[in-house]
């Protein structure tokens, strides 16, 4: 009986920790940028997939494009490792667009230099399993630069 429970637990963990790719196609619409709420350096803010925020005092913005991979441990499951979710962002600085990926695991990049400081990914919700990739909400922070 015990080997069966271990085998089923392992199988469930593999299924729960599998990746679900999301397309990252983006159309830049400057009129949407005009209505973006400014975020202050040092204050956490949240973005849903497709939302953007302007970095206060700049013409720069960050837009949450989606989550490409999410191998984080599912709710209620004990996993061997923490897993990682890789979120993709569009950064626009000085009329230059760049796609950037940030991770939930500190073993990978969780930070990126931006106008007025450093963009830091603090959290990603919900925890797997995620049935609708549009439900992701990322918590970010812009730390003050030197």
DSSP 45-65: EEEETT-EEEETTSS-EEEEE
Question: 47: how many CB neighbours lie within 10 A of its CB?
Answer: 22
pTM score of the predicted model: 0.74
Tens of pLDDT, residues 37-96: 789 999 999 999 999 999 988 899 999 999 999 999 998 888 888 899 999 999 999 889
| Cα gap 77→104, rounded to integer Å | 18
| Token pair 């930070």 in the structure block, residue | 111
Q: Reply yes or no on whether the pLDDT at 26 is more than 80.
A: no
Which residues are CB-neighbours of 11 under 8 A, at least 6 positions away?
none
Query: What percentage of the chain has pLDDT greater than the value 70?
Result: 75
pLDDT at 49: 98
Work out the pLDDT band at 35, boundaries 50, 70, 90. Answer: low
Dihedral angle over CA of 110, 126, 91, 113, nearest 10 = -20
């Amino acid at each position: 009986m015990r080997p069966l429970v271990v085998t089923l637990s392992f199988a469930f963990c593999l299924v729960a920790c599998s990746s679900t790719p999301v397309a990252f196609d983006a159309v830049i619409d400057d009129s949407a940028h005009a209505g973006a709420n400014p975020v202050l350096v040092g204050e956490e803010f949240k973005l849903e997939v497709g939302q953007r925020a302007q970095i206060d005092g700049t013409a720069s913005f960050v837009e949450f494009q989606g989550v490409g991979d999410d191998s984080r441990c599912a709710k209620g499951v004990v996993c061997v490792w923490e897993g990682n979710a890789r979120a993709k962002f569009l950064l626009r600085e000085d009329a230059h667009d760049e796609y950037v990926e940030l991770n939930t695991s500190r073993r990978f990049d969780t930070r990126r230099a931006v106008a007025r400081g450093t963009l830091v990914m603090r959290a990603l919700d919900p925890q797997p399993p995620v049935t609708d990739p549009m439900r992701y909400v990322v918590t970010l922070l812009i730390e003050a630069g030197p």
